[in-house]
Structure 1
Amino acid sequence: MTLKWMRRSMTTAALFGCAYIAIVTIDPACGTSDPNDRLKKVVASAEAASANPPLELFPMEITKVEPVALSERLRVSGEIRPFNQATLRARSGGRIVQSDIREGQAVNAGDVLVRFEVEDLHSVLKQKVADRQGAMAGLLLAMQSLARIEQLAGKNVASQEQLEEARSEVGVAKARLDSLSAQVEIARIALRDAEVLAPFDGTVSKLSVGCGARVGADAELLTLVDASPMEAKLLVSTGDVSRVVIGQKAELRIDGLEQQTIQGTVARISPTTEQNSRSVAVYVRLAREDPGLRGGMFVTGAILVRQAEDAIAVPIASLRQDGDGVYVLKLFDDVLVRQPVTIISSWHDDETVQILGLVRGDVIVTAPLRELHPSLAVRMTEAG
């Protein structure tokens, strides 16, 4: 305490000495006034300045405003899926007589993958064709009979009842012919479906039947996938899916290929949640083909949900509010100035705020100190 008192006394003495010298040497023209009064005023001013020194601010308590690029990403995870995938089924039952494919085998569009026994189908088709030919002959006979009766009716030889009966027989014969023609077409389709063709270029991922097996209608035969274009099925919570829109960019890392980052674009968003979950499927089309990708691979990454270039942003702790609105404290000529700002949006979990009202190069206070206020004199000091 004694040392502090001595330093204060020395400071006061120095102030008195400087004030006296200033009065005597610098301003002799004021000799008409009482030198003691002038000295008292100078000392009072010096003591007032000593009693209210500028508040010291550390470098970490201020920031210089610079435009920045802001981005917000949504963390996601899911799995890799082939873009084209088809499960082929038997249209009608029968015995398989040819199935030379194997799981993992590549096939081309139009290749015969499975062939059913066709002897019975050929017999059915021949029978239906023969029945249709008989129906055609029956229709021709009925039409000839109708023509004769119409002539007789015109000569009042045939009755109206005979005429109506002949017309009815023509209608029945025509209906039978139409029915048998449809049956012939069905038999031809069944014969054509006896060969199961590859609908696109791809790879057999699952084979459910083998040669010699007898299957029923709609039985599963095999699964064919096209691995050239792949997509990622990502699960997004219902609380975040509203921030995802088609066309947004995604960066993904594949399990097993951690050193590679694959770009993608949101292509589809499911209209419903996944069964027994609170997540919505979001499908991302991958930008490039990679022979190392396999369906079912686990994937993690992020979707870029929004971004802003050359944005003016400040920490939310730097914002203050009074009766006139939101403002920040801007440093101008070692004095804090009230600078009104307008909030545009929040970023990074509300830690950063994009605003209007500041420009590049402005220096603002970021420390939320209560003793800071507009018109307060401050000075910078080194940390520690």
Structure 2
Amino acid sequence: MPDTDLSRLTIDRRPGTARRRRNYRPWAIGAAVLLAVAFAVAHLNGEKVVETVSVTTAYPYQSVTLLNAAGYVVAQRKASVASKATGRLEWLGVVEGSRVKQGDVIARVENRDMVAQVDQAAANVVSARAEVADAERAFVRSRDLAAKNYVSSSALDSAQARLDKARAALAVAQANQRAAQVSVDQTLIRAPFDGVVLTKSANVGDVITPFSSASESKGAVVTMADMETLEVEADVSEVNLSKIRVGQPCEIQLDAFPDQRLRGVVSRTVPTVDRSKATVLVKVRFVDRDAAVLPEMSAKVAFLDKEPAAEDRQALVAVSQEAVVSRNGQSQVFTIVDGRVRPVPVTTGRKINDLVAVTGVKSGDKVIVRPPESLHDGDRVHVEQK
């Protein structure tokens, strides 16, 4: 049996020979290296690390804003318009966006059979009137002859009974005519109020069965809303409900028109709390109306402490107060052009919370916040990313 050297099986315990099995994440190491390199390059190039903010627009009324909430524009008067009659839709006179007046005929269900019934009822009325006229003449003759004792009292009574019967028959015929006309009117779909057609649910040829759930039938023909009843429904946390009161002035901003502000007023609050969200639904009525406002638009509502003056509702160019410094008796902000600092003289105005109104820059410009005293015109800077 050959000799076996067991010394080769020993573990080498010399310092530095053990392998560490730590699991380093390559991306974390790479990020740290890049960050260190960026700062090293900035310092080597003489760049100063700064932080920037954007010049924005602000409204002075924001200083009296108690609460902000989000919601949607909703029409308080809205209807799905249908016909009480069942039949095939043969005419539709509106499309989405059509403006209609109360009582306007906007659609019609086929009604030729009902129109025929109206004509038949009208003919019966004519016949009944003829019977009444004949009975009236017979009664007059009988009355005159009875006065001269040429006929008996029973003959006069018979003439009176015939006249009463003819008049009753006329009343029945007229009632039947009205009933037939009502059936025809029920095939005419009319606008219940002044408004705008929002959606069209049926087309010519569809079967309209408002009281049925048949798979191939339609219920409502159109959906319309009264644009004069548009309101904003906003969810307000129940802990802030004490800040809301009926008649409170508001400012409404629509997401579709971010640069426009519309006046509003708290109309009412729904007297219940949504327990899933712990919010109360507050309804805000428009004071300033705009034809461009449509149902279901997203909106933001600022609930104000008091009604702002007209000048407080005008947008001002504003910037963080920490971006404005005084150098040589002149208010300045520092912008960055091609990586270098450029001081811009500005004139400051009223303060709006943590902002200050300025002239000399425009909304969207980037300026340095908290510029150090050592920062001068032409200095190279590196913007700190957050």
Task: Provide TM-score, normalisation by structure 2.
Answer: 0.48
Larger Rg, first or second structure (1 or 2): 1
Task: Provide TM-score, normalisation by structure 1.
Answer: 0.48
